[in-house]
């Protein structure tokens, strides 16, 4: 029993470190894009759409293919993508630019959903021509 309790806190500490490392990379990735892309709206839209694509790929890979460890999910999903994308900035940008709020919100949602569907579509394709899918997805 004592051994099980000793393993738990160490595992938890490593998980926290993995999330923190992913968060560091994601936040700096978002900052880097804000330096490269002119305009707050455009930079926020880009990171949120790219983040939607990556999260869609991550979740699809985990759920359908089953090829993703819990540590990688923590690193990329909880850590990197959670700090890379930004809902609060999206809302602030939309309310700060009332003249373009409606098209911005519609574009953000449409492109975000589209990015998730695109990631799923890409991952569902066979790896090589002529081979069937082996990911448990729909058969054509």
Q: Is 53 exposed, middle or buried (0-12, 13-18, 19+ CB in 10 A)?
A: buried
Rg (CA), the chain: 19
1 domain residue, yes or no: no
How far, in Å, CA of 57 to CA of 123, rounded? 7
Q: What is the pLDDT of residue 7?
A: 57
Domain assignment of residue 22, given as a range: 14-123
92 domain residue, yes or no: yes
**Interaxial angle between packed helices 101-124 and 40-60, expressed in degrees from 0 to 180 and rounded to the nearest 10:** 30
Q: What is the pLDDT of residue 124?
A: 87
Q: Which residues of the chain have pLDDT under 50?
A: 1-6, 133-140
56 domain residue, yes or no: yes
Q: What is the pLDDT of residue 140?
A: 36
138 domain residue, yes or no: no
Q: How many CA atoms lie within 13 A of 97 on its CB side?
A: 15
**Number of compact structural domains in the chain:** 1
Q: Which of 49, 62, 55 is nearest to 80 (CA)?
A: 55
Backbone angles phi, psi at 14, to 5 degrees: -65, -40
């Amino acid at each position: 029993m004592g051994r099980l309790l000793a393993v738990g806190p160490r595992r938890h500490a490593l998980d926290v470190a993995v999330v923190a490392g992913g968060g560091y990379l994601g936040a700096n990735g978002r900052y880097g894009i804000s330096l490269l892309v002119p305009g707050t709206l455009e930079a926020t839209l880009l990171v949120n759409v790219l983040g939607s694509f990556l999260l869609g790929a991550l979740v699809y890979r985990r759920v359908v293919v089953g090829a993703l460890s819990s540590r990688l999910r923590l690193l990329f999903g909880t850590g990197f993508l959670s700090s890379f994308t930004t809902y609060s900035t999206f809302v602030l940008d939309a309310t700060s630019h009332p003249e373009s709020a409606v098209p911005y919100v519609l574009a953000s949602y449409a492109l975000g959903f589209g990015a998730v569907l695109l990631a799923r579509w890409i991952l569902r394709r066979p790896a090589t021509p002529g081979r069937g899918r082996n990911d448990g997805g729909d058969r054509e």
